[in-house]
């Protein structure tokens, strides 16, 4: 796994001792900044009064927890069924279109869950295309004449989230299937076992760790989701934070729900780490020397395999894009306004700023760890990666409290000393949003930078030292040009994730400030799906960037190049 490998330390020279300490210090300070929101939330929950707990426990908290568990359970089953079956088919079977499906199956990654929720609501509701066709076909007059499942429900949320989150499991499981032991599969064949038996007794046990990592990532996204569950009126813990804090003005209550969410997250990280530990034992040494034996499918099997791979792409990408495309076309004149262009610009500027900052911080931490693989730095790396596991709403609480406290203290001091009011410098500006993005997506950049640096031999550092270059100069002159591709990948993925982030942006944005995501959310909340379509489509198109990058990686891996699912990076650096 990327980032989880111990980085080889480069021997130090006395000339560089002082500098290395500077690197260590910077890393520790940056990690402390990232840890600030986590510590704030825990502090808030501890200091708040007991009667809030009593009140929450006797009213809404059990309902929030129950719904969150049901949602995670449902999405967990859905992503495993979709992700594992498709990964097995494209790696182990031969059927028409297999090569194309290898990358088509990644497309739903570009679709945020809240966008697919809006698209299908429009498509499947009473006035939507599907029910209109059914009424015309069967001659039904009104909703009383027939039964149609309620789209905006817990079941709907599970299905649509399953169809956009399965690529996490698919990506990692596919990579693991490609690395499984050929001799074990051949032995199973010699014993006369068919594909089914081989799948359950040989292949599935060997990829269990990869499935668990993909599942943990998908469930973290499920926990973070606000747009879908809010729109479908499913009261999960995230919705609870918004209700209790912003609805009832009770910050301490919100913080306590946030702590409950953090317990869920710790559970997921633990699951993921245990799986990684097992991974070490599963990976056979001589894996890729021989070609994996493939099962040629015949007759109806071929049609079934093509169908199984086509459905997730159709439901998770093609249909919502067509629905949004049609709506965006119809409502284009109403949507393409100067305000809309401002939202696009806002989103781009915030995301670029956050991506560059995250990359910078990731380079400092990863490079410090390369120079001096001490325990302190290992811990700093872990802490810096924690943000990815924090749902946006939890992160927002952890940021707004210290920022507001700083603003108020500074304002009071400036008034007393100089008679000037500084206002809300941090909490009332976009600074808070950029900070939230950096904290939340730093792990992605960190995993990517560490993985790139690991490929550079320590002897290069030694050579640069001999020439009298310091650590910083060595990085700029020698390392940076070599890991340019990895740095660009990190930048792009963080940029796209920032564009899609909704809960943290909703809470932290200054008055009258909108991004694409909040603009889409607000129109959809007002049942104006037509006006939300252009913005939704824009987010999806931007989201295709990393997907195209991953498809290039898959093509490379097929030609014997390195196969790295970039998305496993965040968890790798937490691990």
What pLDDT score was predicted for residue 329? 96
Q: Name the one residue in this structure whose structure tokens are 């500006």.
A: 429
Higher pLDDT, 437 or 186: 437
Is 383 strand, coil or helix? helix
Euclidean distance between CA atoms 326 and 332, whole angstroms = 10
Classify domain 22-44+330-459+485-555 by CATH number.
1.10.3720.10
Q: Provide the b/e sequence for 482-510 (b: ≥16 CB within 10 Å).
A: ebeebbebbbbbbbbbbbbbbbbbbbbbe
What pLDDT score was predicted for residue 1? 37
Range with lowest mean pLDDT among 92-106, 159-173, 376-390: 376-390
* pLDDT of 17 above 60: no
What pLDDT score was predicted for residue 338? 95
CA dihedral 406, 412, 416, 421 (to 10 degrees): 100
Of 404, 392, 478, 486, give the one whose Cα is nearest residue 438: 392
Q: Determine phi and psi for 483, rounding to 5 degrees.
A: -105, 20
Is 94 strand, coil or helix? strand
Of 98, 75, 96, 77, give the one whose Cα is nearest residue 86: 98
Mean pLDDT on 471-494: 87
* pLDDT of 313 above 80: yes
Percent of the chain with pLDDT over 90: 40
Euclidean distance between CA atoms 283 and 164, whole angstroms = 29
Mean pLDDT on 468-482: 87
CB 116 within 8 A of CB 320: yes
Q: Name the one residue in this structure whose structure tokens are 């309620």.
A: 150
Range with lowest mean pLDDT among 7-21, 295-309, 546-560: 7-21
Of 302, 290, 300, 316, give the one whose Cα is nearest residue 98: 302
Euclidean distance between CA atoms 570 and 109, whole angstroms = 16
Q: What's the whole-number average pLDDT of the chain?
A: 85
172's CB contacts (< 8 A; 6+ apart) are 210, 211, 213, 214, 565, 567, 568
What pLDDT score was predicted for residue 567? 47
* pLDDT of 473 above 50: yes
Convert the pLDDT of each residue in 221-272 to its tens digit.
999 999 999 999 999 999 999 998 888 878 888 888 888 898 888 888 887 7
Report which DSSP code applies to 10.
P
* pLDDT of 575 above 50: no
Number of neighbouring beta carbons within 10 Å of residue 377 = 23
CB 237 within 8 A of CB 307: no
Euclidean distance between CA atoms 376 and 383, whole angstroms = 11
């Amino acid at each position: 796994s990327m980032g989880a490998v111990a980085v080889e330390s480069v021997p130090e020279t006395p000339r560089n001792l002082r500098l290395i300490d500077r690197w260590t210090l910077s890393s520790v300070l940056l990690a402390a900044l990232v840890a600030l929101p986590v510590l704030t939330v825990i502090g808030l929950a501890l200091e708040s009064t007991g009667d809030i707990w009593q009140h929450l426990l006797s009213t809404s908290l059990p309902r929030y927890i129950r719904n969150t568990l049901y949602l995670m359970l449902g999405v967990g089953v859905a992503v495993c069924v979709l992700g594992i079956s498709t990964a097995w088919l494209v790696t182990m079977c031969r059927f028409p279109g297999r090569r194309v499906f290898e990358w088509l199956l990644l497309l739903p990654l570009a679709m945020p869950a809240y966008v697919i929720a809006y698209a299908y609501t429009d498509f499947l509701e009473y006035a939507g295309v599907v029910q209109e066709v059914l009424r015309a076909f069967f001659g039904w007059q009104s909703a009383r004449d027939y039964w149609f499942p309620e789209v905006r429900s817990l079941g709907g949320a599970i299905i649509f989230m399953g169809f956009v989150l399965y690529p996490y499991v698919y990506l990692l499981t596919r990579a693991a299937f490609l690395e499984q032991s050929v001799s074990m599969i051949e032995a199973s064949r010699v014993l006369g076992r068919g594909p089914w038996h081989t799948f359950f007794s040989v292949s599935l046990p060997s990829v269990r760790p990869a499935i668990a990592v993909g599942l943990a990532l998908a469930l973290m996204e499920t926990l973070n989701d606000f747009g879908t569950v809010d729109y479908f009126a499913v009261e999960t813990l995230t919705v609870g934070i918004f209700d209790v804090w912003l609805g009832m003005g009770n910050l301490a209550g919100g913080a306590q729900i946030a702590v409950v969410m953090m317990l869920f997250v710790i559970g997921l990280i633990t699951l993921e780490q245990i799986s990684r530990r097992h991974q070490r034992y599963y990976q056979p040494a001589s894996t890729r020397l021989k070609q994996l034996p493939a099962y040629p499918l015949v007759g109806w099997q071929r049609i079934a395999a093509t169908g199984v791979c086509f459905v997730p792409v159709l439901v998770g990408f093609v249909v919502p894009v067509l629905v949004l495309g049609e709506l965006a076309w119809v409502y284009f004149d109403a949507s393409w306004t100067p305000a809309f262009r401002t939202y696009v610009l806002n989103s781009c500027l915030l995301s670029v700023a956050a991506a560059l900052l995250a990359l910078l911080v990731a380079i400092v931490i990863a490079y410090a760890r390369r120079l001096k693989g001490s325990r302190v730095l290992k811990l700093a790396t872990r802490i810096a990666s924690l943000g990815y596991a924090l749902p946006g709403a939890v992160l927002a609480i952890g940021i707004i409290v210290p920022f507001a406290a700083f603003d108020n203290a500074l304002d009071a001091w400036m008034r007393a000393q100089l008679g000037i009011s500084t206002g809300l410098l941090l909490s009332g500006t976009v600074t808070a949003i950029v900070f939230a993005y950096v904290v939340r997506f730093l792990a992605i950049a960190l995993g990517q930078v560490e993985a790139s640096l690991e490929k550079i031999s320590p002897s290069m550092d030694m050579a640069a030292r001999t020439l009298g270059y310091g650590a910083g100069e060595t990085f700029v002159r020698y390392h940076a040009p070599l890991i340019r591709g990895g740095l660009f990948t990190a930048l792009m993925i963080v940029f796209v994730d920032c564009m899609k982030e909704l809960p943290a942006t909703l809470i932290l944005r200054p008055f009258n400030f909108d991004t694409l995501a909040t603009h889409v959310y607000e129109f959809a909340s007002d049942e104006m799906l037509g006006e939300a379509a252009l913005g939704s489509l824009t987010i999806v198109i931007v989201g295709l960037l990393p997907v195209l990058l991953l498809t290039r990686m898959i093509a490379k891996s097929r030609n014997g190049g390195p196969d790295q699912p970039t998305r496993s990076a965040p968890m790798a650096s937490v691990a």
